Amino acid sequence: MALLKVYNLSVFWLLCMILVASNFCNGGITNSFVRKEYSLDMPLDSDVFQVPPGYNAPQQVHITQGDTDGRGVIISWITPDEPGSNTVIYWSENSKHKNRAEGIFVRYKFFNYTSGYIHHCTIKKLEYNTKYIYEIGIGNTTRQFRFMTPPRAGPDVPYTFGLIGDLGQTHDSNVTLTRYESNPKKGQTVLFLGDLSYSNDYPFHDNSRWDTWGRFIERNAAFQPWIWTVGNHELDFAPELEETTPFKPYTHRYYVPYASSDSTSPLWYSIKRASAYIIVLSSYSAYGKSTPQYKWLRDELPKVDRSETPWLIVLMHCPIYNSNAHHYMEGETMRVVFESWFVKYKVDAVFAGHVHSYERSKRISNIAYNIVNGKCTPVNDQSAPVYITIGDGGNHDGPAIGMVEPQPNFSAYREASFGHGIFDIKNRTHAYFSWHRNQDGYAIEADSFWFHNRYWNPFGKSFVASY
């Protein structure tokens, strides 16, 4: 009998140890869905890269928000042969009066490549929640597009964002964009998480691959704003080619409204859109104490009025929580610098790319760690954001399949598949996030999560549904 008691006690303590270990070491779900390892580029004669007909016709048309509040839009396009017209003709759908706006054009050279004429035109003081039609080009090469302005900012304004990162120009990239366009939730604006064309992966940083990528995304980016985040593949720092100006192609091609948020660089800025306040950071610019990016974010976060824009979202390229062997711990320095601010100001979500897979964290923080106290294990923290990595757009490197084992406790769901995300704001207290893998039907959600707003509903219990 005594031996049996000792045995039962030993089993009891063994089970306790297993439970304790699982609490610290084992996270949520790692989906074992099987996907192919590599992705092939689409042929250059693919329809998605088609040049518009007519001499010097505008191409690579894309739009982004043009001011802080959402009443402005930046319309960008390229004419390949000569400057052509800088004029944008635009009018609201219910008006016969046509307006004119004049833009500028820029060019750049990169090694043996010379760009076309890159046009940017900012239109301001548009009406909220209004459909506009715009035209660019001359004569028989005039092209017409449309876009919808957001509603006026307000705490209970519903709005739906799409999330795409690390897209590239492969067959899987095309599936990702098609799946996003066909999603019945109908995203109204894309939050793009960095790594656009991957031109630097081609010989001599082949900048013609910026042109093919611009034509590829035009089918969506000409009709709804894409909010740009810079990634490592936009650096284009190539001393061996005597190219030493970082981000040169990106900053010439993709204008953003950084000055309206008092930023000194187009690589970090903020916008308001409907009920969301979106802060864009640069993982590949200096962000240590007293740097321009550090000072800007320090001054920017207190400006957020959660009674007007309750949803506070941060975009960056390199994730600061990641349980994949690919790019493991690369975001640690940014975590050390900024995580305490994310917790203090109750950021709702931090979206990142870079790692070519999908992962969603629990609400955790590691702000107690000071490198000497040993408190290096993230803890549950209901004031902390949810960290979501969506670097799974379809680039030619293929999905990042090297997951760290065992799955860390901070990780709620992870999967090395291509796909896109949807962040659907319902009101000031609730938003619904879903992740859609490319291999599934349009409406299927591989992972989903109800967000309870950290400011208006800080103690709401989050509901998770994974399939």
- pLDDT tens per residue across span 183-236: 999 999 999 999 999 999 999 999 999 999 999 999 999 999 999 999 999 999
Q: Would the pLDDT of 255 be above 60?
A: yes
pLDDT value at residue 22? 39
Please state the separation of Cα 276 from the chain's center in Å: 14
Task: Supply the residues annotated as catalytic.
Answer: 327
User: Nearest Cα to 169, choosing from 222, 215, 213?
Assistant: 213
* pLDDT range class, residue 132, cuts 50, 70, 90: very high
- Token pair listed for 50: 């088609």
* pLDDT range class, residue 34, cuts 50, 70, 90: low
- The CA distances from residue 420 to 150, 151, 403, 461, in Å, are 22, 24, 19, 25
Q: Would the pLDDT of 85 be above 60?
A: yes
Q: Which residues contact 80 (CB under 8 A, 6 or more apart)?
A: 51, 56, 59, 116, 117
Q: Which residues contact 375 (CB under 8 A, 6 or more apart)?
A: 366, 368, 369
pLDDT value at residue 2? 41
pLDDT value at residue 461? 58
CA distance 244 to 282: 18
Structural domains of the chain, with CATH: 155-194+267-464 (3.60.21.10)
Q: Would the pLDDT of 249 be above 60?
A: yes
Class of residue 152 by CB neighbours under 10 A (exposed 0-12, middle 13-18, buried 19+): middle
List 78's β-bridge partners, or say none.
59, 118
CA distance 49 to 212: 5
Q: Would the pLDDT of 38 be above 50?
A: yes
What's the pTM value of the predicted model, to 2 decimals?
A: 0.92
Strands (E), 362-429: 364-365, 379-380, 386-390, 411-415, 419-425
pLDDT value at residue 238? 97
pLDDT value at residue 9? 37
Q: Would the pLDDT of 17 be above 90?
A: no
| Edge-to-edge strands, sheet with 73-79 | 59-65, 73-79, 117-123, 104-106
Residue 442 identity (one-letter amino acid) = Y
pLDDT value at residue 37? 65
- pLDDT tens per residue across span 155-194: 999 999 999 999 999 999 999 999 999 999 999 999 999 9
Report which DSSP code applies to 81.
S
Q: What is the mean pLDDT of residues 279-294?
A: 97
pLDDT value at residue 465? 45
- Token pair listed for 88: 């944008």
Q: Would the pLDDT of 63 be above 80?
A: yes
CA distance 245 to 411: 37
- Token pair listed for 132: 């506009």
Residue 250 · residue 234 · CB < 8 Å: yes
Class of residue 211 by CB neighbours under 10 A (exposed 0-12, middle 13-18, buried 19+): buried
Q: What is the mean pLDDT of residues 244-265?
A: 98
Please state the separation of Cα 207 from the chain's center in Å: 22
| Mean pLDDT, rounded, of the chain | 91
Question: Distance between terminal CA atoms of the chain?
Answer: 47
| Edge-to-edge strands, sheet with 386-390 | 29-30, 411-415, 358-361, 386-390, 349-352, 311-315, 276-280, 269-273
pLDDT-wise least confident of 25-39, 75-89, 149-163, 365-379: 25-39
* pLDDT range class, residue 26, cuts 50, 70, 90: low
pLDDT value at residue 15? 37
Q: Which residues contact 16 (CB under 8 A, 6 or more apart)?
A: none
- The CA distances from residue 197 to 108, 189, 194, 230, in Å, are 17, 19, 10, 11
pLDDT value at residue 328? 87
Q: Would the pLDDT of 8 be above 70?
A: no
Q: Would the pLDDT of 246 be above 50?
A: yes
Class of residue 348 by CB neighbours under 10 A (exposed 0-12, middle 13-18, buried 19+): buried
- Token pair listed for 11: 């089993």
CA distance 337 to 320: 11
CA distance 435 to 447: 5
Neighbours of 459 (CB within 10 A): 7
